[in-house]
Amino acid sequence: LYERRICLLRDKMNEFDALLMASSMNIGYFTGFFPGFQSLLFVPRDDEVVLFLSRADASLAEETCRFRVEVVGKEGYVEKLKVLLKEDVKKVGVEESLEAGMFSRLKREFPSVSFDFFGGLWDIRSVKSDEEIKAIRKSIEIAEAGLRAAVESISVGVRECDVAAEAEYEMRRLGAESFPFETIVASGSRGASPHATCSKRKIRRGDAVVIDLGARYEHYCSDITRTVIVGRNDKMEKALSLVIKAQEAALSMVKSEVSCSELDLAARKVLEREGYEKYFLHSLGHGIGLEVHEPPSISSTNKANIREKMVFTIEPGVYMHGVGGVRVEDTVVTEKKKGKVLTKLPKEFFV
Ligand SMILES: [Mn+2]
């Protein structure tokens, strides 16, 4: 599996003689070992792959990593690289997670090598294998159970942080390794901020409560949002049904070779017809996998096409400053002729 991924990567290298990766997720994807400490993966075009890591990761890496592992001691990464960056290595690609400090140090220490950004690994990572989709599905199942637990805990007078606690406890019990982002429980006017986390605010009658959460399972992420209406709220109920329509418009268009911007615009158009477009403050969705936000970005500016077996979220929202907000988020996998929605949870909850 990992040898095959490295092969695919080498096919994408084009003008680069070697690649350097620093993020734990990239390294894990290509080697099977997810480092917990600073590490560097060196992938030359036609020589041995080497993973440099700290002593703290070494014993675990030796069990799980299929490639050559080198422990970096006091001498540091640059000294280790000196052995590998031989004369025939002229151009090295680095991905976005390499820190600026490390990047400028490499440029200084290896003046004859040109270092440049390489984004080609996302062509590989953004298309998921059946095994990856299976892990994402399981992660979604856990998040769905967490969301149900959250909804069940909601009543007038309960604090947002208590609702989040119920959700997270349920997800942990079901095997969540961690949470890819902070659970959001945003009630009433707090819902108007798309990334409100949660507070000690007590839920009131008439609140729309935005719950956005995810789990990590076998390294793979989930990300689901539902909005719960507590009692009645005509304004928020109208916004919610419109957001669901906008989401369905985009979901029904998902298939190979549709562009990301077309999906975004399809949802935006539904909101526009009712004059709600100005309340939709972010792009429609994002790829999801080992990272909760990864390519493709489903936005009006991304003209790239989606491809078969890409997995991404569709999450339109309406945010009225000082009033409240609603959002609905599901995950979809692209199949040849249509999209398959992986989230099973109902779109609306009333308590
Ligand atoms: Mn999301």
Distance 63 CA to ligand 1 centre (A): 34
User: pLDDT value at position 261?
Assistant: 98
- Ligand 1 midpoint to CA 212 (Å): 8
CA of 181 to the centre of ligand 1 (A): 10
In sign, the C-alpha dihedral spanning 267, 270, 273, 275 is negative
| CB contact at 8 A, 240 and 208 | yes
Q: 227 vs 46, 115, 162, 263, CA distance in Å?
A: 52, 46, 17, 22
State the distance from the centre of ligand 1 to the C-alpha of 109, rounded, in angstroms: 40
Q: Classify residue 43 by its DSSP letter.
A: E
- Three-class SS of residue 55? helix
CB 149 within 8 A of CB 170: yes
Q: Given this model, what pLDDT does residue 74 score?
A: 81
CA atoms within 13 A on the CB side of 251: 20
Distance in Å, CA 202 to ligand 1 centroid? 25
Query: In angstroms, what is the span from residue 64 Cα to ligand 1's centroid?
Result: 31
- Cβ atoms of 311 and 333 within 8 Å: the answer is yes
Strands 68-71 and 50-53: parallel
Task: Residue 6: name the closest of 25, 23, 33, 29 by CA.
Answer: 29
DSSP assignment of 68-94 equals EEEE--TTHHHHHHHHHS-TT--EEEE
- 172 alpha carbon to ligand 1 midpoint, in Å? 20
Measure 315 CA to ligand 1 centroid, in angstroms. 7
Quote the ligand 1 centre to 333 CA distance (angstroms).
15
Kindly give the parts of the chain with pLDDT less than 70: none
Which of 298, 287, 292 shows the shortest CA–CA distance to 128? 287
Å from CA of 287 to ligand 1 middle: 9
Kindly state the tokens that stand for 73.
């001691």
pLDDT of 211 reads: 98
Distance 285 CA to ligand 1 centre (A): 6
Distance from the Cα of residue 254 to its chain's centroid: 19
Radius of gyration, alpha carbons of the chain: 22
CA–centroid distance, residue 2 to ligand 1 (Å): 28
Q: What is the pLDDT of residue 112?
A: 92
Ligand 1 centroid, distance to 286 Cα (angstroms):
7
Return the pLDDT at 318. Answer: 98
Q: E strands, 199-287, where? A: 208-213, 216-217, 220-221, 224-229, 285-287
Ligand 1 centre from 328 Cα, in Å?
10
CA distance 36 to 59: 12
| Pairing assessment for the beta strands 18-21 and 39-44 based on DSSP bridges | antiparallel
- pLDDT for res 333: 98
Distance between CA atoms of residues 328 and 60, nearest Å? 40
**Ligand 1 centroid – CA 222 distance (Å):** 9
Query: Reading across the β-sheet that carries 114-117, which strands appear in turn?
Result: 68-71, 50-53, 39-44, 18-21, 91-94, 114-117
The total number of residues shown for the chain amounts to 351
Question: What are the percentages of helix, strand and coil residues in the chain, rounded to 5?
Answer: 35, 25, 40
**Listed residue (260, 244, 255) closest to 316, CA to CA:** 244
Distance CA 302, CA 284 (A): 11
What is the distance in A from the centroid of ligand 1 to the CA of 12?
A: 28
* The two three-digit tokens of residue 257, written as one number: 């070779």
CA distance 66 to 6: 11
Say what the pLDDT of residue 128 is: 98
CA distance 197 to 184: 4
Q: What is the pLDDT of residues 31-85, one digit of tens each?
A: 999 999 989 999 999 899 999 999 999 888 988 888 999 999 887 888 888 888 8
Dist. CA 227 → ligand 1 center (Å): 14
Q: How far is the CA of 183 from the centre of ligand 1 (A)?
A: 11
Question: Cα(200) to centroid of ligand 1, in Å?
Answer: 23
Cα(232) to centroid(ligand 1), Å: 26
pLDDT at 62: 86
